[in-house]
Copies of this chain bind each other. A is one copy, B any other.
Amino acid sequence: MNVVITVDPRDGQRRATDLTETDESRLEVIAGQASRAAQWLAARGRLGRAELLDAIAASLEAHRVDLVAAAEAETGLSHARLDGELTRAAVQFRMFGEVLRDGAYVEAAIDHAADTPLGPGPDVRRMLVPLGPVAVFGASNFPFAFSVAGGDTAAALAAGCPTILKAHPSHPLTSQASAAAIESAVRDLGGPEGVVALVYGEQAGRSLVRHPAVRAAALTGSVGAARAIQAAIDERPDPIPLYAELSSVNPIVILSDAAAARGEQIAEGLFGSFTSSGGQLCTKPGLAFIPSDPGGDRLVDALRARVDSSGGTVLLNERIRDAYENRATEFERAGARVSARPQVDRGAGFTVAPTLLEVGLSGLTAEIADECFGPLLVVVRYDGDADLDAALAAVPPSLTGSLHRGPNDDADVVRRLVDVLAARAGRIVFDGYPTGVRVSWAQHHGGPWPSTNAVHTSVGATSIRRFLRPLAWQDAPAWVLPEELRDEYTAIPRRVDGRLAPAAE
């Protein structure tokens, strides 16, 4: 059995762990435990699962020091960033606790028996029920919030779905420690093994999504990884949904008036947004459209100065470091000019220099309008907003599109650009930056392919829907129904005979 290796990206040191890649027989054990854990999660009901999620949040926080230390050594991300990310992970579990207590997410609906234009209609009641065990692929860049203790796990457990995680090879020990913190909370509530489980190794990931017990898969990663997982799913007799969040360029448009009014401030915000966490964020702005005018010049000068005076950043792993450097070289070969790139000591680890590239609007080739994971921003200079539409339409669809307006911008121009951005993104950001995604009820973290499959989100309260399916009961005796569908139940909002009935206070 292959031993799992952990690598410290700060010095490149590789160390063997006591973990081994998951083989088929171990996967069978895990899948069996998950199927049994599904019954335990269902039996707890919504409020019991909310209690579990709160306990998991508390357990993550109780293990904060060890978890953050493990992640620092495996990701090279800063202590402050990882400390904040652990808080975010706990917030996500608590938010889904609220979602469960609120109960609207089950979309309970009751149509009593009635005469209809088509004759007597039976009693029909519908609500969402758990899909069953799900597979989640941890992300390299969020060792907590998009990994074992991440939003997918929180949403899936809230839904009532045991979660089998493919640990990302960049942080196996953090994954293990996160799973242990979750399992500790499960055990304290008398829960069985299998509520969460980990598998290690690429082959185990493929076997996982082929396993009959697994009912959905969620991935944050590359298009290549998604295609490999989809190919494995396609080998199933029964396809399962793959909720994938892949690459995103996140264009940001600075209108002339905004550049003139607050160029220095935008330079600061933009620099922070494309370099924080080493630019290794799915919402990192990769393209900034900046006007070719004096205000735009001052903005770019300020941005260049910040990049030139910055230091190196440790990237997550060797593969990401190499991809970053190759991609930057490709952009330059395709005609992007280096506007700023400090000299940095690359050392023994995976350190790189942040890079500011520049092209004119006509130089924005498909190659340059692609994602570069890491601290790289391409500034695209434009003359007049009239040419922006076509340029933005040539940028691949993204999670986000951002627009900075000035005090005197033409409302029609803003409307037009918002329409262009909205057609190709899942979130439109005004006068701000796409990074720093708020975890909240109204959040949407998705967009047209390849950023996601458009109709789902991996962040926010509605991400739970990925792990649920509708089930209808026709003329069922009350004692067979889930309590949420019994006439007398009023603790959650329901649609009764076509009308929304809020929860009783």
Contact = CB atoms under 8 A, between A and B. Distances in A.
Contact of A444 (B116, B126, B432): B126
Nearest to A492: B500
B468 A422 contact: no
Interface string A423-439: 00011111110001011
B428 A471 contact: yes
A477 interface: yes
A3 interface: no
A118 B87 contact: yes
A472 interface: yes
Interface string A79-90: 000001001100
A124 B493 contact: no
Contacts of A422: 129, 471
Interface stretch (A170-178, A186-194, A203-211, A453-461): A453-461
A118 to B, nearest CB: 6
A469 interface: yes
A277 to B, nearest CB: 14
Contacts of A469: 426, 446, 448, 454-455
A73 interface: no
Given A118-B87, A430-B480, A500-B104, A442 B475 contact: no
Contact of A438 (B91, B122, B455): B122
Interface in A405-443: 411, 414-415, 418, 422, 426-432, 436, 438-443
A479 B411 contact: yes
10 contacts: A88-B118, A102-B500, A116-B439, A124-B443, A131-B454, A414-B480, A428-B471, A429-B475, A441-B495, A455-B470
Interface of A: 84, 87-88, 91, 98, 102, 104, 107, 109-111, 116-119, 121-122, 124-126, 129, 131, 215, 238-241, 397, 411, 414-415, 418, 422, 426-432, 436, 438-444, 446, 448-450, 453-455, 457, 460-462, 465-466, 468-477, 479-480, 493, 495, 497-498, 500, 502-503
Q: Which 5 A-B pairs have the closest CB atoms?
A: A109-B442, A444-B472, A427-B472, A126-B442, A111-B442
